[in-house]
Structure 1
Amino acid sequence: MDDDESSGADVSPDVDALREAAEQLLVRKLRSRSLSISESRMVLKGYEQDRIRLETGVIDDIIDDFCRRGYLDDTVLAEQLVTSGVERKGQGRVALSRALSQRGLPRDVIDAALDELPDDDADRALEFARTKAQSLSRLDADTALRRLVGQLSRRGYNGSVAMNAAKTALAEASFRGPRSGVRFVDSD
């Protein structure tokens, strides 16, 4: 290595190649999973090639370029995560807020996405509780209630919503009686 290379006098082509490689890495990551701006920034900050890292200004330029192209949009990502959390996972507002925060989304984006949700936490909690109540029928009432409230709480429903949904679902399940099970019949 000669003195010009070690002093960094001619690093421009290397920086351009580094930027291009970093952009390609970010595109590959975005193909497999949507990323927030914050997550994308962390990917770029951690990227290095030949022990050279991107400068903050270059990272900002890449992020701005990806936002301009529509590859990164925290508002759209937040809406997608809220929809997925509600429809597929049955999550409440607390769990949704936590999940969006963990993805590095700004508070105002999180609040706007959650404001779009209808105020139906109680309905969604009851729907989830009904799907779980029958499987808890073999337990005593207190244990079943405790477990179901715990499941609802972990999904982000607050205490009173979780308790009401659990009590209602367990009461409904007890009226239905067992759906399956082994029955012994005396044949004599």
Structure 2
Amino acid sequence: MEQAEKLQQLRRALDEYAAGNGPSLFDPEEEVAKAAVRKRALGLLDQRARSRHELTERLLQAEFPAEVVARVVDDLAEVGLINDEDFAFEWVRQRHARRGKSARVLDQELKEKGVDAATRGAALKQIAANDEAAMACALAEKKARSLKVAPADRAESDKALRRIVGVLARRGFAQGMSLRIAREALEQRITELRD
């Protein structure tokens, strides 16, 4: 097909579209409806990354129509602004490194955000068991350093131990591991204070 013929076909198609006889490239009414939802979604994504489920729930809570929300979320996923795998990986990486959260707690947080089990499992693989134990040790040692005077008796020692275990428990570390690590950190701190 020659270039002149292609240009003529294009002109005919444009003329038909302008006359309202051609196929609609987009629905103006739908675009208006999606614009408000898209604006709110982009505002939420600007604050922080979100899972598909979490973003959908937030938009529905803002009382946008469910079918419009679904189309906007699909559009955002199609262009890569929503990706549960990337979201889960970053959530685990950041919250483990910055907040000292255990894999168990991170798994629960991702579950609450609507991330499926396979995606959660893949994201949690980045936390090795020895990394988790090292994080627990660092947190226990930090809390133990807040002890400025060696406990005078068993009651004071138990109180200090409970505080250290509490730090680990709030971050979701296993009870047995938390108690062992807390005892070691407390004993080390008491030895430092007595020397």
Q: TM-score, normalised by structure 2?
A: 0.76
Q: Which residue of 1 aligns with 2:176?
A: 160
Q: Which amino acid aligns with 2:84?
A: D
Task: Tell me if structure 1 keeps the 8 A contact 2:93–2:126.
Answer: no
Kindly provide the CA deviation profile for residues 109-149 of structure 1, in whole angstroms up to 9, marking residues without a partner as x.
11111122112222210111001102135451111111211
Segments of 4+ moved more than 3 angstroms: 12-16, 136-139
Q: Which amino acid aligns with 1:82?
A: V
1:80 aligns with 2:95: no
Q: TM-score, normalised by structure 1?
A: 0.78
1:90 aligns with 2:100: yes
SS at match of 1:88: helix
1:176 aligns with 2:176: no
- The structure number with the bigger radius of gyration is 2
Q: Structure 2 residue aligned with 1:141, among 132, 157, 171? A: 157
Task: Tell me if structure 2 keeps the 8 A contact 1:100–1:110.
Answer: yes
Q: Which residue of 2 aligns with 1:6?
A: none
Q: Which runs of 5+ in 2 are unaligned?
A: 1-26
Q: Which residue of 2 aligns with 1:36?
A: 51
Q: Which amino acid aligns with 2:82?
A: L
Kindly provide the CA deviation profile for residues 53-76 of structure 1, in whole angstroms up to 9, marking residues without a partner as x.
4243x3322222111111001111
1:131 aligns with 2:142: yes
Give the Cα–Cα distance (whole angstroms) in 2 for the partners of residues 135 and 126 of structure 1. 15
Q: Which residue of 2 aligns with 1:8?
A: none
Task: Tell me if structure 1 keeps the 8 A contact 2:143–2:167.
Answer: no
The CA deviation at 1:158 is 0.5
Give the Cα–Cα distance (whole angstroms) in 2 for the partners of residues 91 and 43 of structure 1. 25
Give the Cα–Cα distance (whole angstroms) in 2 for the partners of residues 22 and 105 of structure 1. 22
SS at match of 1:43: helix
Decide which moves more: 123-132 or 37-46.
37-46
Q: Which residue of 2 aligns with 1:45?
A: 60
Task: Tell me if structure 2 keeps the 8 A contact 1:148–1:166.
Answer: yes
The CA deviation at 1:178 is 7.1
Give the Cα–Cα distance (whole angstroms) in 1 for the partners of residues 194 and 77 of structure 2. 55
From the two aligned structures, give the one with the greater helix fraction.
Answer: 2
Q: Which amino acid aligns with 1:127?
A: A
1:70 aligns with 2:80: yes
Decide which moves more: 155-164 or 131-140.
131-140
Residues 148 and 136 of structure 1: is their aligned pair in 2 closer, same or farther, counting only changes over 3 Å?
same
Residues 15 and 131 of structure 1: is their aligned pair in 2 closer, same or farther, counting only changes over 3 Å?
same
The CA deviation at 1:159 is 0.6
